[in-house]
A and B are shown apart, each in its own frame.
Chain A
Amino acid sequence: MSRKKIFLLMTLPLVGIFFLFDTVPLLTGFVYSLTNSKGFGSFKFIGLSNYLRLFTDGDVLSSYYFTFKFAIVTTVVVNVFGLLLAIVLNSRIKFKTFFRGIYFLPYILGGLVVGYIFNYIFTFILPSFGKSIGSALLSSSILGSTSTAWIGIVITVAWQSIAFNILIYMSGLQTIPEDVYEAAKMDGSSKWNTFWKITFPLLAPFFTINLVVSMRNFMMVFDQIMSLTGGGPASSTTSISLLIYQKGLSGNQFGYQSANSVIYFVIIVVISIFQLKVLNKREVQL
């Protein structure tokens, strides 16, 4: 067999599978978004009316509001604290490997189990602590109120995923050679200045990775919400994924939620490209 043929045989099986189970559903999803399908039985093409309805649907708008609020706040939290922790972990501390192992532990656990553990903490332990210090705010479960439930989800997801950001920043810090710092010190640069003028710009590629990966993952949050609030109270924590899952699969809104997924897809692509474009510009080389 010729070289060309073997390479083709190595390529085509996976491309075929990929086309069948990734591209085909993508296209059929788009076709369904133009119909009034309930997920079963017959359906009619109704043009773009699903899309028009999305913009006035309270459920959809509130899920976008929650998802964006959650994803942006959590991305900021894990990056700020992740960077700080990485700097401390990267300094000359004892038992570095041991601590790194501990900080990474939450990352390998399932989102569902972590959600259940924090559910218990927010429902019982935190209120009990709130009562003992006489705080009215903390005396009842933060998951029970429409105004605070999302904070519980931010804390849980941040606790679990910050390990990833710490590691990426740590490997970034290790790429900065010691003599760059020495030179800065010789020039009389303060620690604060050194951080903003040297460390931070040199970490830019790692900052890009962290921002893009975090934002993309948090936009698709599902497991932790299932075990923390199930989307409640009063659907204040229903993420876009959860809404598409609930209403699309068992809420008779197959076609309509397909239109929602198409919009969701476009938004994720736009955000990712925007981040990559803007962030790549500010990356510097040593």
Chain B
Amino acid sequence: MKSSKTNWFSTILIAILAVGVLIPLYMAINISLKKPSEMGSSLSNFFRLPKILQFNNFKEAITTTNFFQTAFNSLVITVFSVIVVVLFTSIISYAIARNMKKRFYRYIYYYLVSAMFVPFSMLMLPLVKQLSFLQIDNKFGLILMYLVFQTSMSVLLYVGYLKNITTSLDEAAYLDGANSWQIFWKIIFPLLKPLHATVAILTALASWNDLLLPLVVLSGNGNSKVTLPMAQLVFQSQFGTNYNLAFASYILASLPILIFYLFAQKQIISGVVNGAVK
């Protein structure tokens, strides 16, 4: 018989280890709310709560990192990347999945998916030159790059999922006089909803937190503080003088994604798992 008794030993073990996950975050929030004079160097000092919450740190961090501007830039880049990736890769995946018997489409599939093994560092140097030559070393170019670098994973996911959607739906619609384009939008695209969520979350996490690609694509243009992670990097030069301010800015930078996580935790977790397991 299946027993349903709670395993308290495991519960307590997990709770203790969860503290290990939370301590660094507690430290960061704690420091961001203190005055420099409250820092000290004794161990108990690090954990002690601030006497008065210093929300001024946040105010100052907002102006120092130009928070609203950089957060807005990051948001625009993330949202457009998600839209473009979902649209382009689901359309091409439909065409590939329904034509897998043809060699041409099979080779395109292998071509797109095998690129997963190309490390970004390998493309980084030539890409910088190419983007500035085409004069798209800007946000548009950056979004285009997220489309390119999310393609392999997304096509792999969509095609795998589409193989399980029966073609009888397509055939019935063809008989009713619809064309492939209409069938995709009216029937297939809505059916792909769970996959859209997975692809969107993977793309959003990849672009929101990314540092290297914006650094490479945008800095050449003299734009060193366009996205949130870039603004954090510039902030490091002032790191030595005021940790409270620095941590306030780290908390601020993480806040949007934390709020998003709070509301969409289940979807985010299953999105990431689907992305790996399928």
Residues of A that sit less than 8 Å from B by CB: 1, 3, 6-8, 10-11, 13-15, 17-18, 21-26, 28-29, 32, 39, 85, 88-89, 91-95, 99-114, 116-118, 120-121, 124-125, 128-129, 132, 159, 164, 167-168, 171, 178, 206, 209, 213, 216, 219-220, 222-223, 226-227, 240-241, 244-245, 248-249, 254, 257-258, 261-262, 264-265, 268-269, 272
Q: Which 7 A-B pairs have the closest CB atoms?
A: A110-B209, A25-B126, A10-B95, A261-B122, A93-B11, A6-B180, A28-B126
Q: Which of B41, B121, B268 has the most CB of A within 10 A?
A: B121
Task: Kindly list chain B residues whose C-beta atoms are within 8 Å of the C-beta of A108.
Answer: 205, 209, 257-258, 261, 268
Asked if residues B119 and A261 are in contact (CB atoms below 8 Å), the reply is yes
Task: Kindly list chain B residues whose C-beta atoms are within 8 Å of the C-beta of A114.
Answer: 24
Task: Kindly list chain A residues whose C-beta atoms are within 8 Å of the C-beta of B130.
Answer: 21, 24-25, 28
Give B38-85 interface residues, CB cut-off 8 Å to A.
Answer: 41-43, 46
Report B110-151 CB contacts with A as 1/0, cut-off 8 Å.
Answer: 011001011111111111111000000000000011011101
Asked if residues B126 and A222 are in contact (CB atoms below 8 Å), the reply is no
Given contacts A104-B269, A262-B122, contact A15 B112 (CB under 8 A): yes
* Residue B218 lies at the interface, judged by CB distance under 8 Å to chain A: no
Residue of B with least CB distance to A239: B121
* Residue B15 lies at the interface, judged by CB distance under 8 Å to chain A: yes
Task: Kindly list chain B residues whose C-beta atoms are within 8 Å of the C-beta of A85.
Answer: 14, 17
Q: Give the Cβ gap from A172 to chain B, nearest Cβ, in Å.
A: 8
Q: Give the Cβ gap from B83 to chain A, nearest Cβ, in Å.
A: 14
Task: Kindly list chain A residues whose C-beta atoms are within 8 Å of the C-beta of B209.
Answer: 108-112, 223
Asked if residues A112 and B148 are in contact (CB atoms below 8 Å), the reply is no
What are 7 of the A-B contact pairs (CB < 8 Å)? A11-B92, A103-B18, A103-B21, A116-B232, A164-B272, A168-B277, A222-B211
Asked if residues B233 and A112 are in contact (CB atoms below 8 Å), the reply is yes
Interface SS of chain B: helix
Asked if residues B236 and A227 are in contact (CB atoms below 8 Å), the reply is yes
Given contacts A92-B6, A104-B269, contact A128 B148 (CB under 8 A): no
CA of A162 to CA of B38 in the docked complex: distance in angstroms? 33
From B24, B272, B277, A121 is in contact (CB under 8 Å) with: B24
Residue of A with least CB distance to B205: A108
Q: Give the Cβ gap from A11 to chain B, nearest Cβ, in Å.
A: 5
Asked if residues B115 and A116 are in contact (CB atoms below 8 Å), the reply is no
* Residue B191 lies at the interface, judged by CB distance under 8 Å to chain A: no
From B2, B118, B181, A26 is in contact (CB under 8 Å) with: B118
Given contacts A17-B147, A112-B233, A168-B277, contact A88 B112 (CB under 8 A): no
Asked if residues B127 and A245 are in contact (CB atoms below 8 Å), the reply is no
Given contacts A3-B179, A113-B253, A125-B46, contact A167 B151 (CB under 8 A): no
Task: Kindly list chain A residues whose C-beta atoms are within 8 Å of the C-beta of B247.
Answer: 116-117, 120
CA of A168 to CA of B273 in the docked complex: distance in angstroms? 6
Report B193-216 CB contacts with A as 1/0, cut-off 8 Å.
Answer: 000000000000100110110011
Task: Kindly list chain B residues whose C-beta atoms are within 8 Å of the C-beta of A167.
Answer: 269, 272-273
From B4, B41, B108, B257, A128 is in contact (CB under 8 Å) with: B41
Task: Kindly list chain B residues whose C-beta atoms are within 8 Å of the C-beta of A241.
Answer: 119-121, 212
With contacts A11-B96, A25-B126, A121-B24 known, what are 18 further pairs, Cβ within 8 A?
A11-B95, A18-B112, A22-B148, A92-B4, A92-B5, A95-B11, A101-B269, A104-B265, A110-B211, A110-B228, A116-B232, A171-B273, A171-B277, A206-B277, A209-B276, A223-B209, A227-B236, A245-B212
Task: Kindly list chain B residues whose C-beta atoms are within 8 Å of the C-beta of A28.
Answer: 126, 129-130
Asked if residues A26 and B123 are in contact (CB atoms below 8 Å), the reply is yes
Asked if residues A14 and B88 are in contact (CB atoms below 8 Å), the reply is yes
